[in-house]
Amino acid sequence: MLPLETKAVVTGLSSPLLVKLAGLRELAEGGYPLERMALDLRAVPHHAVTHELLALPWAGFIEAQADSNAPSHAQLSHAAPPGRPLASLQGERGIAKPGDVLELDPFRQRVAVRYRRGDNGNILFATERCNSYCLMCSQPPRQVEDDWRIQHLCDLVELVDRDEPSLAISGGEPTLLGSGLAAIVAKCAEWLPDTHLHILSNGRLLSDTTLAAQFEDIHPNLSWGIPLYGDHYALHDYVVQSEDAFAQTLRGLYALEAARQRIEIRVVLVKPSLERLEALTRYILRNLPFVEHIALMGIEPIGFAKAHHAALWADPADYVEQLQGAVDSFSRRGVAVSLYNLPLCTIPESLWPFAQQSISNWKNDYLDACASCAVKARCGGFFSWVTPKWTSRKVKPIELSLEAA
């Protein structure tokens, strides 16, 4: 697991700055203005660092913080021009590499990775606000004024790799940005038309059809991930802790369909939803035939979930029958279905083809028991903050003979 930010000594800046981290490859490709790139002095051979290279109009420079315990020959570093923005990074070298987008923060003396080249979980974080208070929310909402993020994300999009296969827009609840969310999507359409853009929303505000209509034909590769936790209002409203949420979400789903949007339904496998998973499956197939993908998701044990363990946790080993039934029902009807956040040892082998490596790299880990597992390379593993009480009793290494069977 690589963290998304690190301590740093940031000088030469009076406000935070977004930059594309560049080595010689990025310079040669010329894909971004020099004024928006920071030269990664850690990645440039000493013989290539010339006065002419340093004199270019870089937005800044990145170097590793000197190690006082290292021998003197190992502390040799390139000298950035005095007075120019400079960030000396602490921590692992791999936290930031050429191609990443960094935010240099002189106030907090930190550097945050806002986009990581090659990662499987890059997110455009839209807002900390939310109009639901889900029992298992991994990102508890804060009611703060953060409309400034609209321009921030538009600036970030301009620095993302043009061949990035996928990005998510998440929060909080992104639709709280209103037309600002549409502006971000439009910016993605301008700069990243080939990137699959996936908006994670509770869908409630999309019941205002004028908002949903703003997304029609706005991006050639846009989809929505909308949660549904029950086949009736009382169950869904209980899980999201918001009155009328079920009705609003359904109206939002129909408004997205009217706007010709691609839709995924997300079901976090908490105990109350599992008890009616069969009924929920029938409800989706009967009432939402336009949905193209179903994601059945293991719970992320952080945020609000930690306070609601008794109400939410169910061992995957105890709901295999419900899970198999749901997967079979969707598959028979031609609806794509995936299993997220479920290690392979906790589900029967018949479900392995549906299991995805869904946990973002920066929060993905494996347990000691995984070391000798024959299928570790294809298993999604665990959230880094998993604890024994959130771990299935079925967790154990899988023998090679089982994989070959």
SS3 call for 329: helix
How many degrees, rounded to 5, is the angle at CA 167 between CA 166 and CA 172? 150
Per-residue pLDDT at 376 exceeds 60? yes
Q: Which residues pair with 166 in a beta bridge?
A: 196
Share of the chain above pLDDT 90, in %: 90
Q: Are strands 37-40 and 60-64 parallel, antiparallel or unpaired?
A: parallel
The length of the chain, given as a count of residues: 405
**End-to-end alpha carbon distance in the chain:** 32
Q: Is 225 exposed, middle or buried (0-12, 13-18, 19+ CB in 10 A)?
A: buried
CA gap 200, 171 in Å, rounded = 8
Q: What is the pLDDT of residue 239?
A: 98
Dump pLDDT digits (tens) for 195-205: 999 999 999 99
The first and second tokens of residue 150, run together, are 């609209």
User: Helices in 198-356 by DSSP H: which ranges?
Assistant: 209-213, 233-240, 245-258, 271-274, 277-287, 309-312, 320-332
Which residue in 88, 101, 97, 156 sits closest to 125, CA to CA?
Answer: 156
Residue pair 293/338 in contact (Cβ under 8 Å)? The answer is yes
Summary mean pLDDT of the chain: 94
- Please give the average per-residue pLDDT across 160-178, as a whole number: 97
Q: What is the pLDDT of residue 208?
A: 94
Which domains, and CATH codes, for the chain? 5-69+76-112 (3.50.30), 123-363 (3.20.20.70)
- Please give the average per-residue pLDDT across 134-148, as a whole number: 95
SS3 call for 173: coil
Q: Which long-range contacts (CB under 8 A, 24 or more apart) does 56-61 make?
A: 58/22, 58/34, 58/84, 59/17, 59/19, 59/34, 59/35, 59/85, 60/12, 60/13, 60/17, 60/19, 60/84, 60/85, 60/86, 60/87, 60/104, 61/85, 61/86, 61/87
**Any idea what DSSP says for residue 101?**
E
- Please give the average per-residue pLDDT across 276-288, as a whole number: 98
Dump pLDDT digits (tens) for 71-106: 433 444 567 888 999 999 998 889 999 999 999 999
Amino acid letter at 232?
Answer: H
CA gap 146, 105 in Å, rounded = 17
Query: Residues 264, 287, 175, 242: what is their CA dihedral angle, to the nearest 10 degrees?
Result: -110
Per-position DSSP letters for 357-388, written without gaps between them: --S-GGGEE--GGGTT-TTGGG---EETT--G
SS3 call for 169: strand
In angstroms, the Cα distances linking 96 to 11, 22, 301, 366 are: 18, 10, 27, 22
Dump pLDDT digits (tens) for 104-125: 999 999 999 999 999 999 999 9
Residue pair 365/1 in contact (Cβ under 8 Å)? The answer is yes
Q: What is the pLDDT of residue 290?
A: 98
- 33-71 CB burial, b ≥16 within 10 A, e <16: ebebbbbbbbbbeeeebeeeebeeebbbbbbbeeeeeee
Q: What is the pLDDT of residue 401?
A: 58
Dump pLDDT digits (tens) for 301-323: 999 999 999 999 999 999 999 99
Per-residue pLDDT at 226 exceeds 80? yes
* Entry pTM: 0.94
Per-residue pLDDT at 375 exceeds 90? yes
Per-residue pLDDT at 70 exceeds 90? no
Q: What is the pLDDT of residue 91?
A: 87
Instruction: Report the phi/psi class of residue 99: left, alpha or beta, with left for phi > 0 and alpha for psi in -120 to 50.
Output: left
H/E stretch holding 37 reads strand 37-40
Strand order in the sheet with 293-297: 123-125, 166-170, 196-200, 222-227, 262-268, 293-297, 336-340
Torsion sign over Cα 161, 149, 171, 282: negative
Per-residue pLDDT at 192 exceeds 60? yes
H/E stretch holding 244 reads none
Q: What is the pLDDT of residue 67?
A: 57
Q: What is the pLDDT of residue 80?
A: 82
CA gap 301, 253 in Å, rounded = 28
Q: What is the pLDDT of residue 75?
A: 40
The first and second tokens of residue 47, run together, are 């013989």
